[in-house]
Amino acid sequence: MISDLKEIISINAKGMKRSAIRELLKLTQKPEIISFAGGLPAKETFPIEELVEITKDVLENDGASALQYGSTEGDPTLLKALVDRYNNQGLNITKDNLCILTSSQQALDLVAKIFCNPGDKVIVGLPSYLGGLGAFTAYGAEPVGILHDEKGMRADLLEAKLEELTKAGDKPKFMYVIPDFQNPAGVTMPLERRKEILAIAKKYDLLVVEDSPYRELRFEGEAQPMLFELDNNEGNVITFGTFSKIFVPGFRIGWVLGNPAIVDYFVKAKQSTDLCTSPFVQKISAKYIEQGLFDKNLIKIIEMYKEKKAVMIDSFEKYMPEGVTWTNPEGGLFLFLNLPEGLDAEELFHIAIKKNVAFVLGSVFHCDGSGKNTMRLNFSYVSKEDNVEGVKRLAQSIQELMDSKK
């Protein structure tokens, strides 16, 4: 064994941390635990029978190509399917605006790899997705948090912070936002706020990184235009998409959507990482979309998650102690729960785990260490019955914590 491993570890590697959520999931694997912790789609949504047939078709008719190396940019059939989907939604893009990636988590890693030097600032939400924060800090970037309200990132605080950083000669490299059903808070940015945020970004010549993993999982309300669409393909916004939450996470398929000049950097960065995303799963995915099965299954997923969210919200209203509040998302997989000020979700976790219910501490989504009294709950994975029972256990745990503070 090397005598002093820490001496040869890179600066970037020293900044890496294990994912708090991934580590937490290890504690929740007992069958008796009802876990609201993971960001997992319901396994009932996986179209196994259809995929068996499509996989057989791909192997029989395109096997050699499917099992060979593929282009870094992505399989042509999948690129075409994505281009058609986006253009049907009102965009005007070509395959040159896309690069297929190994999940959108790779996109988060590559955007930091491409743009960030140690010490560079990046703007993020308070709270913001832990996977993004981890990817940025792994390359030495320093997240600067902007507080959220019920409409997402506050435009007034964003402008004030950008003015401050610009005057100090410390202009951020990019701004990271999740406009639709934000992870972890579940809030959606309305059109006017999107326009405000984009206008401020343009004023300060700041690249906007739009993470969009849940956009198509809308249960209610009106769909808002993507920031990429509002930018009119001018190159101020890059968008990350993924099949993990709306199809199957095990395929690990994501993509970046942006100006071709920016996408080219992702192609080059990906080539030194994994060369290409699996052509096999790309071809299966493309065929699944081409046969109209994707949209058909998406309708079922939306209906299922809509019911599960409604059950959880109803259970909150019935069982939660006074003073506990929560968000009520219009889609996605998550909501945020707020304990009364002064209560610590980490203390609560130890009580809750003894009652066999788990959640994710909200503080891990706050780059400044705030949010001690918050938690993220996933409503998509467990059954409706377990949603109710889990909320009961969580409510009992919160009451026990509150009583201990009297």
Return the domain boundaries, the chain: 5-47+295-404, 68-291
The answer to whether 263 touches 99, Cβ cutoff 8 Å, is yes
pLDDT at 119 over 90: yes
Query: 192 to each of 86, 177, 235, 257, how far by Cα in Å?
Result: 22, 15, 20, 23
Q: What is the DSSP letter of 364?
A: G
The answer to whether 40 touches 383, Cβ cutoff 8 Å, is no
pLDDT at 42 over 90: yes
Residue 316 has φ and ψ, to the nearest 5°, of: -60, -50
pLDDT in tens, 254-294: 999 999 999 999 999 999 999 999 999 999 999 999 999 99
Q: Measured between alpha carbons, how far is 95 from 78 in angstroms, rounded to an integer?
A: 10
The answer to whether 152 touches 130, Cβ cutoff 8 Å, is no
- Return the percentage of the chain with pLDDT > 90, whole number: 90
User: Once rounded to an integer, what is the mean pLDDT over residues 189-205?
Assistant: 98
pLDDT at 28 over 60: no
Q: Measured between alpha carbons, how far is 313 from 14 in angstroms, rounded to an integer?
A: 41
Q: Measured between alpha carbons, how far is 151 from 192 in angstroms, rounded to an integer?
A: 10
pLDDT in tens, 69-99: 999 999 999 999 999 999 999 999 999 999 9
5-47+295-404 placed in CATH 2.60.40.10: no
Q: Per the structure block, which two tokens stand in for 106?
A: 């790779």
Greatest extent of the chain over all pairs of C-alpha atoms, in Å: 69
68-291 placed in CATH 2.60.40.10: no
User: Once rounded to an integer, what is the mean pLDDT over residues 206-227?
Assistant: 97
SS3 86: helix
Q: Measured between alpha carbons, how far is 103 from 256 in angstroms, rounded to an integer?
A: 10
SS3 331: strand
pLDDT at 38 over 90: no
pLDDT of residue 405: 84
166: left (phi > 0), else alpha (psi -120 to 50), else beta?
A: alpha
User: Once rounded to an integer, what is the mean pLDDT over residues 223-243?
Assistant: 96
- Give the pLDDT band (50/70/90) at residue 24: low
SS3 99: strand
The answer to whether 387 touches 143, Cβ cutoff 8 Å, is no
User: Once rounded to an integer, what is the mean pLDDT over residues 370-394?
Assistant: 97
The answer to whether 281 touches 253, Cβ cutoff 8 Å, is yes
pLDDT in tens, 125-160: 999 999 999 999 999 999 999 999 999 999 999 999
pLDDT at 162 over 80: yes
Exposed, middle or buried: residue 366 (CB in 10 Å: 0-12, 13-18, 19+)? buried
User: How does the average pLDDT of the chain come out, rounded?
Assistant: 94
- Give the pLDDT band (50/70/90) at residue 406: confident
Q: Per the structure block, which two tokens stand in for 218?
A: 């809308």
Among 166, 160, 122, 168, which Cα is nearest to 144's?
Answer: 122
Q: Per the structure block, which two tokens stand in for 272?
A: 């030194």
The answer to whether 172 touches 205, Cβ cutoff 8 Å, is no
- Give the pLDDT band (50/70/90) at residue 7: confident
pLDDT at 29 over 70: no
Strands 207-211 vs 237-242: parallel, antiparallel or unpaired: parallel
pLDDT at 392 over 90: yes
pLDDT at 382 over 80: yes
- What does pTM read for this prediction? 0.94
Q: Measured between alpha carbons, how far is 330 from 199 in angstroms, rounded to an integer?
A: 25
- Beta carbons within 8 Å of 19's beta carbon, 6+ residues apart: 130, 131, 134
pLDDT at 374 over 90: yes
Q: What is the DSSP string of 166-198?
A: HHTT---SEEEE--SS-TTT-----HHHHHHHH
pLDDT at 6 over 70: yes
Q: What is the DSSP string of 96-121?
A: GGEEEESHHHHHHHHHHHHH--TT-E
Residue 366 has φ and ψ, to the nearest 5°, of: -110, 115
Considering only CA atoms, give the Rg of the chain.
21
Q: Measured between alpha carbons, how far is 78 from 83 in angstroms, rounded to an integer?
A: 9
Q: Measured between alpha carbons, how far is 209 from 100 in angstroms, rounded to an integer?
A: 16
Q: Measured between alpha carbons, how far is 241 from 258 in angstroms, rounded to an integer?
A: 11
